[in-house]
Each structure stands twice: as structure tokens, then as C-alpha cells.
Chains A and B, each alone.
Chain A
Amino acid sequence: MQANWVLEAYIFVLALFVGFQLISKVPSVLHTPLMSATNAIHGIILVGALTVALAAHGPLETALGTAAVFLATLNVVGGFVVTDRILEMFRRSPGGGRKEHE
């Protein structure tokens, strides 16, 4: 138990560092899709929601678990779909863009 806890803390801290490195290189033009994509990624909570809902005993646990699955699904599906819609709109200039008048 104790060893697990420490290992998980390691994973958490290292992932934080990776996150800071990754995100700080995203240009501000893409900050909205970045936010909505990471928003979809924290929908990974659906994994947790499924874990508790599918293994639930008794009505209280089932109700809480089912509600969690519902909210998390909204988060995941809505998040990825909306990010795709945003990114679909980002287009380059016809014929190369930026360099053309410089």
C-alpha cells in the first residue's frame, strides 16, 4: 500500500513536469483548442466512473456511479467533438500565406 502510494506520487509529479514542458510550447493562436482538448482529456475520469459503476453494489453506489458515467461521457464526447470542430476551421492562406508579401 505504502509503496504504491509513493510510486503513484512519482508518476503524478513526473507527468506534471511533462505537462508543463508540453503546454508551454503551444502557441497562443491555439490556446482555445488546447483548452478544449485538455478538457476532453480530463474526461478520462470516465475510466474511473466505469470502474465504480460496473462494480457497484447496492442502489446508492449504482446511482452515484451511473451519474458519474453520464457526466463523464458528456465531458469526453463533447470535448473531443468540439475541439475537432474548432480545429477544422483553422486554415492556411491559399498559396502559402505569410511569406507572400514579405
Chain B
Amino acid sequence: MNSLVQVAYLLTAVAFILGVMRLRAPARARSGNLLAAGGMLLALVATAAVLPAHHLWWVGAALVVGGIAGTASARRVPMTAMPQMVALFNGMGGGAAALVAADETARYLPAFPPAAAAAPALFTVLIGSISFAGSMVAFAKLQELIRGRPITFPGQKPVNLLLLLLLIGVALLLPFDPAARAALLIGFAAGALLLGVSTVLPVGGADMPVIISLLNACTGLAAATTGFVLGNNVLIVAGALVGASGTILTVLMSRAMNRSLANVLFGSFGKLHATHLEQAGTEGEGVRATTVEDVAALLAYAGKVAIVPGYGLAVSRAQQEVRDLMDALLARGVDVRFGIHPVAGRMPGHMNVLLAEANVPYDRLYDMESINPDFPRTDVVLVIGANDVTNPAARNNPDSPLYGMPVLNVDQARSVVVLKRSLRPGFAGIDNDLYRNPKTMMLFGDARESLQHLLSALKDVA
């Protein structure tokens, strides 16, 4: 290939690396994204410049329509729907990789490509199709087109394993059967798609941060293996970067949920703790309910307040109210911080985006490691729509299913106010000892309404 193109690809790889490097600081992150986009454009122009211009109309139309559709959907999507948007784009990338690899194999039909090209091509078709189909299922779950609860059927695991073995068998058969080759290839792709669907179906809605990260890693890997198929280094480098990123996020998310990846994929969390759900929520004694006026007075005279938002905050669309509360408290000279658990939301870092959208400045957003040492010096913690991630049982009750999970140590603050609809346990179905802590007060009701009342009560505090 033209060496000028190779130089362009090298520059692209550098732009990607520098772009991701800039994502370390919020102030420089936007320029990093632009740098990566510039690198992408360079690679595309260089590629197109040296290729024969067959089918220009088809390719041009695909570029224009894809570009318009991509821009339109990316501009319109609300931030709460970001996880499904990312899943959708991720699926597109996986599907494209599978199609490129299939195209490359089809080029040789009815003959068969040499083994060094065939092996990565078939692997790309497999992993790209899994990524495509899996992402579509994740999208449908997040968009609530299908139910988010785990969907399982008896014998699911053996069936999936059998399917995988069958696919490997088909792949091994391909070089030997020229007559059936086209049919086998189609069957191979169809089986891979089916495997993607049946892998993601049993994963529950709250496990989406893990599965989205994993699918992201899969598409990255598929892009890299496409690079092996086409002998294209920039695909290999970019694919490896994304593969590494997706893998790291997958591990971080699993750890933050106190579960192994295998447990997320095969465990069907919703069913696991059905027994806990029955015993929990029965006892209401030892729980202290409070009023909006008391909480307003408490907050108004506090020196340091921490707000711990969970996905419940986004469900009741109270981001704007929480930001108004922050402003009101800041105006009174109260220090306000947000303590955010890694799995608050439906994808890694989702809660930060939702708060940033409501104009909460990023320097008030603290991750778990940096806010935890601060709780003993905090006067009031306001827990809004979060449950399991504040459960002290994760620290001190070895019998709890949450034990060992990293949590926000809100119980170490001087007082805790929990905004909650009822005493119903959280997603994991586990009772939260925090609610029975003498330092804790419960403010029952819809988060958004409670915050609105709190805001007006705060105005009345002299």
C-alpha cells in the first residue's frame, strides 16, 4: 500500500492516543474528542484517495445517509437515554466489522481464503455479530422495548455452549466443502447473531453498565481483528485501544457491583435474591420519619453537606431541583458536594453526565474514593434515590450479599437524610441498616416533590 497512506494512518493512531489522553481532565476533554475526530477524518481521506472508485454512488449514498442519521440521532438524544444511544452506535460498529469480514470472505467464493486470512475473518464475523445482536438487545432493554428483567429459559447455559461449539464446528468445516460453502457462511453468521441475543437476554437492567462496557470491548476487538484480515495497522491500533478501554470499564463496573463478570452474564441477579425480598421491608420499627421543615433547618445551618444521588433521582427527573438546592445552599455559605458511586446510572459515569446537564459544575462531583474520607467531617448527607450503594452492611455484615462491595460510607457523617418513596428495599432486594441508624432521618415521598418542598421551606428559614 501507498506509504503516504501509511504515514496518514500513523498520524491517526497518534491522534487517537493523544485524544484519549486528553480525556483525563474535564477542561481538556472536548479538545481530545475533536483531535480524535480529526484523526479519523485523515484516515478516511487517505483511504479513499488511493482506492479504485468503484460503486461511488452506492458508497457515497451510504456515507451521506449514515452521516445524516448519525448526526440527527446524536443531537436529539436526551442524556438519560445516553446508554441506549451508545449501545446502538456500538452495535453499528460491530455489525460493520462483521460485514467487512464477511465481504472479505465472500470475495474468495467459491474458493476459500488462505488460513492466515480466513481465521481472523471468521473470528471477526463471530465477535462482530455477537456485538451487533447483543447491543441491539441491550438497546431494546434500555429503551424498554422489551422488559429489562432477566429473561431466562431452562437449559440456557448448555444451549449457548452448544451453539458456540456448533459455530466452531461450522468454521472448521468451511475449508473442506466448496459446494455448501456459501450456505455454511450464512449459517455461521446467523448462529453468531443468535448467540449474541441469547447472551444478553438474561442480563438484568441494573447490570447494563457491565454489559455495555463488555460489548464496547467486543466491538473494539472486532475492529482490531478486521485489521488483521485487511492488513491494516490503524484498525489494529484503534481496535486495541477500544478493546483495552472496554475491558477496564467492564472490570471496574463488575467490581463496583461486587460481582464477577460470569455472575453478571449467567447469574440473573433478579432471581438470585428473591428470598431476601420477602423478609425485607416488613419491619418499620426503629425508623425515624422527618418533615421537610426539619430537613430545611438542618441543611441551612450545616457547614458541609454531601448529596448522594442514585438512579432514582433520574427516574423522578429531579436533576434540576437538586441543582437548585445546591445553589440555595451555596448562597447560604454551605459547602455542597456530590458523592457518586461508580454504578449510579445505566452506564459508567452516567450520573455525572445527568448532573452536568443540570449545570452542576464538575468540580463538585466527587467519586467514591475521594469523598469517602470526607464523610466523618460532613454535617449532613442527603441520599436521593440511592439505596444499596449506601448500605453499611457491605462493610460490616459478612452474611450480607452486598458484603465486600465498595459503598459510600454515608453512615459516618453526623446526620443522614434519606429521600425515599417508601421503605421498599432496593434493586438487590436487601434491607438497608442505614435506615435504622439513630443518625438517619427518612423523608418519604417522590424525590422531585420532596426537593421542591425542601426548596420553598429553605426560603422560610431565617
Is A91 in contact with B82, judged by CB distance below 8 angstroms? no
Closest Cβ neighbor of A76 among chain B residues: B40
List the A side residues contacting B23 at CB < 8 Å: 26, 30, 33-34, 37
- Chain B residues, Cβ within 8 Å of A5: 116, 228
Greatest chain B CB density within 10 A among A11, A41, A68, A79 is at: A41
Query: Which residues on B sit within 8 Å (CB–CB) of A86?
Result: 79, 82, 353, 356
Q: Decide if A65 touches B103 in the complex (CB within 8 Å).
A: yes
Are A49 and B96 within 8 A (Cβ)? yes
Question: Would you call A33 and B29 a contact (CB within 8 A)?
Answer: yes
Report the separation of the CA atoms of residues A41 and B364 in the bound assembly, to the nearest whole angstrom: 29
B183 within 8 A of A: no
Interface size on B, residues (CB 8 A): 118
Task: Kindly list chain A residues whose C-beta atoms are within 8 Å of the C-beta of B48.
Answer: 50, 54
Whether A82 touches B47, Cβ cut-off 8 Å, given contacts A8-B228, A41-B16, is: no
Does B184 touch A at the CB level, under 8 Å? no
Instruction: Give bound CA distance, A100 to B33, whole Å.
Output: 30
- The answer for the CA separation of A43 and B40 in the assembled complex, in Å, is 9
What's the least CB distance linking B124 to chain A, in Å? 9
Q: Report whether A69 and B63 are in contact in the complex, using a CB–CB cutoff of 8 Å.
A: yes
Task: Provide the residues of chain A in CB contact with B359, threshold 8 Å.
Answer: 89, 91
Chain B residues 284-311 with CB under 8 Å of chain A are none
Asked if B146 lies at the interface with its beta carbon under 8 angstroms from chain A, I say no
| B54 to A: closest C-beta gap in Å | 6
Docked pose: A77 CA to B64 CA in angstroms: 11
A interface, how many residues as a size bin?
Answer: 35 or more
Q: Which of the candidate stretches B87-95, B153-161, B172-180, B273-281 sits at the interface with the other chain?
A: B87-95
Q: Is the CB of A45 within 8 A of B58?
A: no
Name the distance in Å between A63's Cβ and chain B's nearest Cβ.
9
Q: List 17 A-B contacts (CB under 8 A).
A: A8-B231, A19-B243, A19-B245, A22-B244, A34-B349, A36-B86, A39-B242, A40-B37, A42-B223, A45-B96, A47-B47, A68-B103, A72-B92, A89-B353, A89-B357, A92-B27, A92-B361
- Interface, chain A (partner B; CB < 8 A): 1-2, 4-5, 8, 11-13, 15-20, 22-57, 60-62, 64-94, 97-98, 101-102
Residues of B that sit less than 8 Å from A by CB: 12-13, 16-17, 19-21, 23-24, 26-27, 29-30, 32-34, 36-37, 40, 43-44, 47-48, 51-56, 58-59, 61-63, 65-67, 69-71, 73-75, 77, 79, 82, 85-86, 88-90, 92-93, 95-97, 99-100, 102-104, 106-107, 114, 116, 212-213, 216, 219-220, 222-224, 226-249, 252, 333, 335, 340, 342, 347-350, 352-353, 356-357, 359, 361-365, 367-368
Given A8-B227, A19-B242, A38-B216; 6 other pairs, CB 8 A cutoff: A16-B240, A32-B353, A43-B89, A70-B65, A71-B99, A88-B30
A-B pairs, 8 with minimum CB distance: A19-B244, A73-B66, A31-B349, A78-B70, A15-B240, A77-B70, A97-B363, A31-B348
